[in-house]
Amino acid sequence: MSVESSLSAPVRRREAAGAQPRNRAGTRARRALPSLLAWAWALLSLYPLAWLVMQSFRSDADILSRPWGLPVDGRLDGYAKAFESTPLVQYFLNSLVVTVCVVLVSVACCTGAGYAFSKLRFPGSNTVFAVFIGVLVVPAPVLLLPVFLISRDLGILDSYIGLIGPYAAGVLPLGVFLMKTHFDSIPASFAEAAEIDRATPWQTFVMVMLPQVRPAAATVAVLAFMSAWNEYIYALVAIRSRELFTLPIGIADLSAKKFVYGYAPVFAAMVVTIIPVYLAFLLAQRSFLNSLALGGGVKG
Amino acid sequence: MALLALFLIWPIGVSAMYSTTSASGFGDMEPVGFDNYARAFADAELYAAVGRNILFAAIVVVLSVGIGFLLAYALYLRVGGWRALQVVYMVPYIMPVVVTAIMWQFILEPETGLLNSVLRAAGLDALAGPWLTAQSTALPTAALIQSWVLVPFAMLLLFGSMVSLPAEVLEAASLDGAGHLTRMVRVVLPMIRPTLILTIGVIALQLFRSFDLVYLLTKGGPIGSTTIATLFVFVQGFVNNEYGYANAVGIIIGLALVIVAVTPRIVQAVRRSRTGKATA
């Protein structure tokens, strides 16, 4: 807050001299460049996705000879072949089971832990929280190897649990941080009022606190969904049996065999993979964008 | 909590233990003391990988934070359709990394790829090249794709901090006749500095933690030209089966990151306590 007062003064003095006569029409002209830039980047973000979807409706010959052309006849061959040549439905179900479990586990854990760190004071709570956040810094491969070795010793490699556990744990640091900041923003008077009304601590938590953090919980859910649905490296090393493949390793496998099955099935399988994750984002986009932007604001 | 302990904290201990052995995943595990660490510090390949990682991270941080800032500012100015734009921008960030990688491989394919076809059609044959498969261009190309993915993330954080700026300051600057550029560079930029630093830090750390995009794009090749530090650990561990050595390198990188991440805080704390004493 002190930044703004110390800043605006010199800026004002310097600029006050020159530029009084500026008309209204200037405002629109001055926005032209930012608009251009903003829409150009939107095109750059969206075009590859649109291209991907278009390719999935074309034949291999078209994909190779005229990569930028529109679909001529909207073929579904790619999809037919993708479902026929690989157990795509099985992959999809595997991904779905793992992802749904990860979302449930991490939302429950993050809400509980976030509440504990925010509202309950217990000995060493700050230290434990610091360790939590510190884990965010540890490089992925440092965890990848030992998690793999531990899972091997526990005998949960090559199983749903072997993916769900590490994925859910991976969401915790950021998730707990998000939930804690949201619980922090609930004024103490809410809990006090509940106490006066003779609510038990559990009732306070469920009936007073939970409804207030719903947007944050939605954000954690989307984060968990994205990380579990999109994860590739760990699934690659932990899953051996084809019938347990998740979509990412499934399509990487399909792509490696594009000279056998052709190009169109790869595009079709990719479209099938991205639909759920974009759906999940669209459903929760408002609270997702707000919570993460709020994170920037709070820390900034 | 138990979950965290089991899959995040316990592994670090296990990793430390393995790092002092010659484990290779075939049961021949001998304690070798600090040999793995000595080997790491003498490994020229590791130094090269760290150097590539720094170059890679530098390109990505500059591009993603730079473009992210400009886009956030454009949204902050409420350019037409800014709400829709905010959602559209997230597309690359949400795309599964496997899809991103395979898609860009198709786009950048030397003979039949989208980019080279367009370049040739435009008569720019000289520019068309084997982007991801030439030693000289593979790393910068991978960095460009990584930036494409991370721009939205930077944009979102920076936009969040701009929205929370007090409007009066900008109005005042605008009344005083400060133009776009002046307001952006002299007013907004200094005010969001803490978030800017945070964003740079988070993205830089991210680039020393994960390697999945680069791995999927190039498998570290051609001839190791895109083997960044984290990918090096992965290759040592899962391709060469040198669990012990990989764990040692991983721990060195981890410690280095913690030191880099924590040092500024300590310096700041020390400085603060000094000035605190000075004023008191």
pLDDT at position A179: 87
What parts of chain A have a pLDDT lower than 50?
1-26, 296-300
Residues of A in contact with B19 (CB under 8 A): none
Decide: residue A126, CB within 10 A, 0-12 exposed, 13-18 middle, 19+ buried: exposed
Which of B 123-152 lie inside 8 A of A, CB atoms? 148, 151-152
Instruction: Specify the DSSP class assigned to residue B21.
Output: B
In a domain, residue A117? The reply is yes
pLDDT at residue number A95? 93
CB-based contact B177 A16, cutoff 8 Å: yes
Task: Give residue A4's pLDDT.
Answer: 38
Residue B66's pLDDT is what?
93
Instruction: Annotate A255-269 with b (16+ C-beta within 10 A) or e (fewer).
Output: beebeebbbbbbbbb
Residue A67 lies in a domain: no
**Chain A nearest C-alpha distance from B212 (Å):** 6
Cβ contacts of B275 within 8 Å, gap of 6 or more: none
Exposure string over B98-122, b if 16+ CB within 10 A, otherwise e: bbbbbbbbbbbbeeebbbbbebeee
DSSP single-letter state for residue B192: T
Domain annotation covers residue A57: no
Looking at the partner chain, which of A16, A135, A281 has a beta carbon nearest the beta carbon of B90? A281
Q: Does B62 touch chain A (CB under 8 A)?
A: no
Residues 187-216 of A with CB under 8 A from B: none
Give the predicted TM-score (pTM) of the model. 0.81
Return the number of CB contacts < 8 Å for A and B.
297
Q: Please give the residue range of the domain that contains residue A85.
A: 78-299
Q: Is B31 helix (H, G, I), strand (E, B) or coil?
A: strand
Arithmetic mean of pLDDT over chain B: 79
A51–B contact, CB cutoff 8 A: yes
Q: Higher model confidence: residue B226 or residue B99? A: B99
The 10s digit of each residue's pLDDT in B195-209 is 888 888 888 888 887
**Fold (CATH) for B56-228:** MetI-like fold (1.10.3720)
* Residue A111 within any structural domain of the chain: yes
pLDDT, tens digit, 9 for 90 and up, residues B252-275: 887 888 787 777 777 777 777 766
**Chain-centre distance for alpha carbon A189:** 33
Query: Which of the listed ranges A5-14, B68-77, B170-179 does the model predict with the highest average pLDDT?
Result: B68-77
* A positions 271-290 inside 8 Å of B (CB): 273-274, 277-278, 281-282, 285, 289
pLDDT of residue A3: 39
Q: Kindly report the CATH number assigned to the domain that includes residue A196.
A: 1.10.3720.10
Query: A268 touching B, CB under 8 A?
Result: no
Q: Does A71 touch chain B (CB under 8 A)?
A: no
- What letter would DSSP give residue B74? H
- Cβ separation B14–A8 shorter than 8 A: no
**What pLDDT does residue A138 have?**
66
CB-based contacts of A133, cutoff 8 Å, min separation 6: A173, A177
Which of B91, B163, B239 has the most A C-beta neighbours within 10 Å, making it the best mutation to test the interface with A?
A: B91
Binned at pLDDT 50, 70 and 90, residue B63 comes out as: very high
Omega before B222 within 30 of 0, i.e. cis: yes
Percent of chain B with pLDDT over 70: 84
> pLDDT (tens digit, 9 = 90+) per residue, B215-257?
888 887 777 788 888 888 888 877 777 777 887 888 888 788 8
- Give the tens place of pLDDT for each residue, B125-154: 777 777 887 778 888 899 999 999 999 999
**Contact: A145, B246; criterion CB under 8 Å:** yes
Could you tell me if residue A185 is inside a domain? yes
| Complex ipTM value | 0.79
| pLDDT value, residue B17 | 63
**A137 inside 8 A of chain B by CB:** yes
Residue B269 distance to chain A (closest CA, Å): 16
Q: Given A12, A146, A233, which is nearest B172 (Cβ)?
A: A12
3-class SS of residue B176:
coil
Angle B97-107/B135-163 helices, nearest 10 degrees? 130
- pLDDT at site A21: 39
Sequence-separated (6 or more) residues with CB below 8 Å from residue A75 = A57, A58, A59, A264
**How many domains would you assign to chain A?**
1
Number of H helices, E strands in chain A: 15, 0
What does the block give as tokens for B200? 């740079």
- The per-residue pLDDT for A124 is 73
